[in-house]
Amino acid sequence: MAKPVEKTRALRKGAWSPEEDRKLTAYIKRYGIWNWAEMAKPAGLQRSGKSCRLRWVNYLRPGIKHGNFTKEEEQTIIDLHEKLGNRWSAIASRLPGRTDNEIKNHWHAHLRKRFKYDLNALPESEPSEPSSDETNQNSSSRSNPTDNIPRPSILESYSAISTDSLPSSSSNPLVEIEEKPNIKGSIGSLDNFKA
DNA sequence: AAGATAGTCAACCGCACACGC
DNA sequence: TGCGTGTGCGGTTGACTATCT
pLDDT in tens, A41-96: 889 998 999 999 999 989 998 888 888 888 888 888 888 888 888 889 889 988 88
Query: How many angstroms is C1' of C16 away from CA of A67?
Result: 17
Q: What is the CATH number of domain A71-138?
A: 1.10.10.60
Summarize the confidence of residues A2-11 as an average pLDDT.
Answer: 47
As a whole number, the mean pLDDT across chain A is 65
pLDDT at position A9 is 53
Q: Percent of chain A, pLDDT > 70? A: 52
| Extents of the domains making up chain A | 16-63+161-190, 71-138
Q: Is the pLDDT of residue A118 over 60?
A: no
A18 to A10, A21, A23, A56: CA distances (angstroms): 20, 5, 9, 13
Query: How many angstroms is C1' of B19 away from CA of A34?
Result: 15
Query: Whole-model pTM?
Result: 0.69
Question: Which residue gives the smallest C-alpha to C1' distance to B14?
Answer: A139
Chain B: nucleotides under 7 Å from a protein CB? 7-18, 20
Query: How many angstroms is C1' of C14 away from CA of A15?
Result: 11
CA distance A11 to A119: 45
Q: What is the pLDDT of residues A119-139, one digit of tens each?
A: 554 433 333 333 333 333 333
A136: left (phi over 0), alpha (psi -120 to 50) or beta: left
pLDDT at position A150 is 39
pLDDT at position A37 is 87
Summarize the confidence of residues A27-46 as an average pLDDT.
Answer: 89
**Could you tell me the pLDDT band of residue A11, with boundaries at 50, 70 and 90?**
confident
